[in-house]
Chain A
Amino acid sequence: MYEYILRRLGFGLMTMLGVSIIVFVLMRVLPGDPLVAIFGMEGFTKLTAEDRAHYMAELGLSDPLVVQYLKWMGDVVTGELGRSFFRDESVADMIVRRGPLSVEIGVLSVVISWLLGLPVGIISALRPNTVADTGARIMSILFLAVPGFWLGILIVLALLFQFGYKAPLTGVPLWVDPWANLQIVIGPALVLGVGQAAYIARMARSSLLEVIREDYVRTARAKGVIERLVVNRHALPNALLPVITLSGVLMGIVLGGSIPIEQAFGVPGLGRAMITAVIERDVMVMQNLVFLYSFVFVLVNVLVDVTYAWFDPRIHYQ
């Protein structure tokens, strides 16, 4: 088991190395001079050649690409992460300040997706082709097609008309005012969670339908185990394995989808910071944030794989 975990971590590390190279190359083939982005076309033409060289050196952009890359990797390891081009704030500070909100939204949305998707999927599978099953399937097909951020704007609009809700301008940390914090996070988390719940319900349904037809489940029924225990003790644990894996894959939707949803709800989280970075062409911020989001994605999937192997010993004995 330890060997398996180490191997999986090693794989994850290699993947992150590849990710860092792709991110770095993407952020360095940007068309145009970064100084044009910072000073504007007019300001740029006023700079002397010396000024330009000075600013480029200050931003760390005048070194050879390999040196720049290695420096960045060193920064990533030490947690320094460089500075924003436009704001007087290091990227690390930005992550510490804005990150908690985004993390809360992500974690809460995963919890919601399980609480919502699992029961729906189980009911669907235990009573296939009934009204409940059909309803659940229609809902899950529908929520696969509804863009989360659109749902977000509609919810904000409805709240606005009903309660005069206003988008928060600044984030409130959980430990300062939990109630105000919850008001900010619950909307985005709900929208993100419902979207994932649709996938989870679908997967739980098909997986449980398959497991429930297996011989050992029939054996359990034949020896007189009551139906509730057959489902909870015998069928569910095996049926849940694919759902766990799916939840790892869905992390991509949580991370990517949270960006337009944060925008729709006006949540001052990391996703908003990324949008600003793209629009302002703030290379340092974008580079580090893309790397961070991918890191979380890879890490979660390593954890999912390890959990899977823990539940299903066949995996790590291979």
Chain B
Amino acid sequence: MTDMQAYSPSPPASSVPDDNTVLSRQARVWRGLRNFVRRNPLSAFWGVVATAILIMAIVAPLIAPHDPLKANFRRMSKPPDAQNYFGTDQIGRDNLSRVIYGSRSSLVVAIAAVLLGTTTGSLWGLASGYIGGRFDIFSQRVIEVLQSFPDLILAMAISMALGTGTWTVIVAIAITRIPFGGRVVRAVALSLKEIAYVEAARGIGASTLRIMALHILPQCVASYLILATTHLGVAIVIESALGFLGVGIPPPTPTWGNLLADSLNSGLIPPWWLVFFPGLAITITVLAFNLFGDGIRDTLDPRLRGTR
């Protein structure tokens, strides 16, 4: 049980209620949130920013002032003013609306890729760590090979092989995330393998699959959540780089990377507002997810606190 304590957050002594009343589920969630905010005010703030960006992506049609795809030839290449707060591009599309809509594709790709890649990698790592033997050795070699590609180059090669499209980009980024899940969760599974309660389960004749699903998996959730949140930022950057290089989601769909690519193709000198705002959106979003992720890691894995 000592190992379990390392993975579950234990509230500081002052906030533990002295009477051992059983709190309702809702009350526990609220207390957890309150503790998180008190201990990581900075991460909590950036968590709010991240949530706001997510909401912005979901309700994009409601808050975007213009149609992101509609050209307006009377207002071409206009710098930011009262009509178009972020200016317009070379065929008069509203830059602000395009940045807002861009958050949709960028976030969908990043979130889907991280979920797909981290889940695949984690399950793989779990199996290879627990089963061990030849399967483990083989898996380790494959993961090593996958890690020998620079992320962006592997993603470029995969998206070239699979053709263009949203799913291609998602799969391409997801594959670059597999090794991380594989490594981290494998280590957790290895350490749990010899713990008494797992041995007990083996002793009473539980099947390998059952032990992995019911006894090992729950202990890997903390590592999984940490991985997923810390890799969201990386995924957003890779997506924007792919879009910038013209191998991401094909235009005219606005993604932040595509907007930056477009800005370079709009005349000899790219207008500063077409360059500045999409990049700013990427920076703020990555910053928000990174710092929120730091807070989540500190909460779920107190051993790592202060190491970064």
Residues of A within 8 A of B (CB): 14-16, 18-19, 22-23, 26-27, 29-31, 141-142, 144-147, 149-151, 153-154, 157, 160, 202, 206, 251-253, 255-257, 259-260, 263-264, 274-275, 278-279, 281, 286, 290, 293-294, 297-298
Taken residue by residue from 140 to 166, chain B's Cβ proximity to chain A (1 for < 8 Å, 0 otherwise) reads as 011011101111111011111111000
In contact, B150 and A252 (Cβ under 8 angstroms): yes
In contact, B279 and A150 (Cβ under 8 angstroms): yes
Residues of B within 8 A of A (CB): 141-142, 144-146, 148-154, 156-163, 233, 237, 240-241, 244-247, 260, 263-264, 269-270, 272, 275-276, 278-279, 282-284, 286-287, 290-291, 306-308
B237 closest partner in A (C-beta): A147
Residues of A within 8 A of B156 (CB): 259, 274, 278, 290
In contact, B153 and A255 (Cβ under 8 angstroms): yes
Residues of B within 8 A of A206 (CB): 306-308
Residues of A within 8 A of B158 (CB): 26
In contact, A149 and B244 (Cβ under 8 angstroms): yes
In contact, B245 and A19 (Cβ under 8 angstroms): no
A-B contact pairs, 10 of them (CB 8 A): A26-B161, A147-B282, A150-B283, A153-B260, A153-B270, A157-B269, A256-B150, A256-B152, A290-B154, A294-B153
Residues of A within 8 A of B307 (CB): 206
Residues of B within 8 A of A151 (CB): 279
In contact, B153 and A26 (Cβ under 8 angstroms): no
- Given the contacts A145-B233, A145-B286, A150-B282, A297 and B145 also touching, CB distance less than 8 Å: no
B269 closest partner in A (C-beta): A160
Q: How far is the CA of A22 from the CA of B141 in the complex (A)?
A: 13
B152 closest partner in A (C-beta): A256
In contact, A260 and B157 (Cβ under 8 angstroms): no
In contact, B157 and A286 (Cβ under 8 angstroms): yes
In contact, A297 and B247 (Cβ under 8 angstroms): no
Q: How far is the CA of A202 from the CA of B150 in the complex (A)?
A: 21
Q: What are the 8 tightest A-B residue pairs by CB atom distance, in nearest-first order?
A: A256-B152, A256-B150, A150-B279, A18-B145, A145-B286, A145-B287, A255-B150, A252-B150
Known: A22-B149, A260-B244, A264-B264. 6 other contacts (CB 8 A): A23-B157, A144-B290, A147-B282, A149-B241, A160-B269, A297-B150
B233–chain A nearest beta-carbon distance, Å: 7
In contact, A18 and B141 (Cβ under 8 angstroms): yes
Residues of B within 8 A of A253 (CB): 150
Residues of A within 8 A of B246 (CB): 275, 279
Residues of A within 8 A of B237 (CB): 147
Of B142, B263, B279, B306, the residue contacting A147 (CB under 8 A) is: B279
- Given the contacts A145-B286, A147-B282, A157-B272, A293 and B260 also touching, CB distance less than 8 Å: no
Q: How far is the CA of A264 from the CA of B270 in the complex (A)?
A: 11
Q: How far is the CA of A212 from the CA of B144 in the complex (A)?
A: 33
Of A30, A263, A297, the residue contacting B245 (CB under 8 A) is: A263
In contact, A19 and B241 (Cβ under 8 angstroms): no
In contact, B244 and A263 (Cβ under 8 angstroms): yes
Q: How far is the CA of A31 from the CA of B159 in the complex (A)?
A: 11
B271 closest partner in A (C-beta): A157
B8–chain A nearest beta-carbon distance, Å: 25
B97–chain A nearest beta-carbon distance, Å: 20
A192–chain B nearest beta-carbon distance, Å: 12
A34–chain B nearest beta-carbon distance, Å: 12
- Given the contacts A145-B290, A150-B275, A27 and B153 also touching, CB distance less than 8 Å: no
Residues of A within 8 A of B263 (CB): 153
Of A141, A160, A278, the residue contacting B247 (CB under 8 A) is: A278
B143–chain A nearest beta-carbon distance, Å: 10
A202 closest partner in B (C-beta): B308
Residues of B within 8 A of A22 (CB): 145-146, 149
Residues of A within 8 A of B244 (CB): 149, 260, 263-264
B179–chain A nearest beta-carbon distance, Å: 11
